Amino acid sequence: QSFKTKICCIGAGYVGGPTCAVIASKCADIKVTIVDINQARIDAWNSQDIPIYEPGLEEIVFAQRGKNLFFSTDVDAAILEADLIFVSVNTPTKKTGMGAGFAADLAYIEAATRRIALVAKSHKIVIEKSTVPCRTAESMRKILDANSRSDVTFDILSNPEFLAEGTAIKDLQNPDRVLIGSMQTPAGLKAQKALASVYARWVPQNRIVTTRLWSSELTKLASNALLAQRISSINALSAICEATGADVDEVSYACGLDSRIGPKFLKASVGFGGSCFQKDILNLVYLSQSLHLPEVADYWNQVVLMNEYQKRRFAESVVKTLFNTITNKNICILGFAFKKDTGDTRESAAIAMVKYFLKENANIRIYDPKVPESQMRYDLTVEDNVDVDIYNKRVKVCDTAYSAADGVDAIVVLTEWDEFKTLDYKRIYEKMTKPAFIFDGRLILPTAELKKIGYQTITIGKGDVE
């Protein structure tokens, strides 16, 4: 079949995969090829066991794959034939060198851009999909311009992705807005129109917002900073609730009824995780510092510091409640993903929590419905430096919540998976060491019922600690 338009997406991750799968499903006449240098990941996308869990994703991939949706490691071939190229590679926080701990590592973006510059033989519209610091497009443009020839020209667009993991497909099919930033030149505006016409197949015109390039780049950082700020704000209030006997659920509900505030993202918790919030705020902090705006940098940095504080506070409350020692005690961790309905564990609060408990010499039993043991092992030992011997000795990953909770001293809920709301807590209680403690880091448990069974319940932001 010959396709009129061809799209290439560089980076087959949590963003590239779902985004382009949805484009393929909405545009039968567009050929979409998602490429990656990671062979194992591409093999998985081409198998029956796709590498990312996202409700509804598998169905779309299976329906489109081989028709107008392809996964490949042949990056050059896909660049060559594409009219539009999404760059959807990872942009992690730099670990060493200038800006370490704050700035985004743009090495992958640059490598992908150089590849496009090198390989292209015709005009390409290059689209930043990855989250990048404000004005990154300028660097990309310089690389592309320096390599353009008379018949090979490039336009660059910023089209940040706002999907949330766990609801990615829903968010992509029905986005609050699609943002496309471009240079305000005739060529830039023409490219903007070309990309807008792809989204216009399923997104209402009034939700396709076009802006200048820098506004679009900054909007992505700003959105995540504003969302994370709400979480840190309610979490800061949760500490006051615990100290005063107020109930954070009541406070956030009543605050959220004010239409100027609104109810979303006002749920107290053990802290936010995920690959984006912390990284993007730190990025904004670094940007502010680079622009000599230290007060602005400090302001946003406090959102991250509050999140660290919340995780530490919760971990400490577990130790304090268990009579100031958890040495050799058995602690059941329910949930390891950073939120429900995803298997993604990047920056998950559970990682920090388990590490903390291991330092206190506890034995840990973990259950998560979507995170495999290999991932937990990787996160704790490779990424977070827990000694492999300690991991082997002290951590056990279980297949069910019941086996994880079997005979433990305390249960700690860290991810808001629905199934944790309705476990047979009576059955679990009977086998636990008494007093049986249960810590709710997500405010999802039926506390009154648990108390009736005999549990000592400790919930973030609830003053009635027993």
Q: Is 437 exposed, middle or buried (0-12, 13-18, 19+ CB in 10 A)?
A: buried
Contact with ligand NAI (CB under 6 A) among 90, 330, 345, 459: 90
Identity of the residue, 213 or 404, whose beta carbon is nearer to ligand NAI in the bound complex: 213
Helices (H), 362-463: 373-377, 388-394, 401-405, 425-431, 447-453
DSSP bridge pairs for 457: 438
Contact with ligand NAI (CB under 6 A) among 7, 8, 9, 13: 13
Find out whether 89 is annotated in a ligand binding site: yes
Amino acid in position 296? V
Going by C-alpha positions, the residue among 236, 247, 249 that lies closest to residue 307 is: 236
Does position 14 interact with ligand NAI (CB under 6 A)? The reply is yes
Residue span binding ligand NAI (CB under 6 A) among the ranges 157-165, 374-382, 386-394, 435-443: 157-165
Shortest distance, CB of residue 17 to ligand NAI, whole angstroms?
A: 7
Does position 51 interact with ligand NAI (CB under 6 A)? The reply is no
For the four alpha carbons of 408, 411, 415 and 420, in that order, the dihedral sign comes to positive
Contact with ligand NAI (CB under 6 A) among 38, 167, 215, 321: 38
Find tokens 């590592």 and name the residue: 105
9 is catalytic: no
Catalytic residue among 8, 276, 332, 398: 276
Residue span binding ligand NAI (CB under 6 A) among the ranges 6-14, 118-126, 361-369, 454-462: 6-14
Does position 181 interact with ligand NAI (CB under 6 A)? The reply is no
Find out whether 222 is annotated in a ligand binding site: yes
Contact with ligand NAI (CB under 6 A) among 20, 25, 41, 117: 41
Q: What is the C-alpha to C-alpha distance for residues 196 and 297, in angstroms, rounded to an integer?
A: 34
Tokens of 181: 């930033």
Going by C-alpha positions, the residue among 465, 455, 461, 449 that lies closest to residue 405 is: 455
Going by C-alpha positions, the residue among 51, 25, 31 that lies closest to residue 173 is: 25
- Asked if residues 119 and 35 have their Cβ atoms less than 8 Å apart, the reply is no
DSSP bridge pairs for 181: 158, 211
Contact with ligand NAI (CB under 6 A) among 6, 37, 265, 454: 37
Q: What is the C-alpha to C-alpha distance for residues 262 and 252, in angstroms, rounded to an integer?
A: 10
Q: Which of residues 100-129 bind ligand NAI (CB under 6 A)?
A: 108, 111-112
Orientation angle between helical segments 213-244 and 136-146, nearest 10 degrees: 150
Find out whether 211 is annotated in a ligand binding site: no
Find out whether 72 is annotated in a ligand binding site: no
Binding residues with ligand NAI: total (CB under 6 A): 27
What Rg do the C-alpha atoms of the chain give, in angstroms?
24
The residue with its CB nearest to ligand NAI is 13
Binding map of ligand NAI across residues 373-402, x = CB under 6 A, - = no contact: ------------------------------
Q: Residues marked as binding for substrate?
A: 161-165, 220-224, 260, 267-273, 338-339, 442
Query: What is the set of active-site residues?
Result: 276
Binding positions for ligand NAI, rule: CB under 6 A: 10-16, 35-38, 41, 75, 88-91, 108, 111-112, 130-131, 161, 163, 165, 275-276
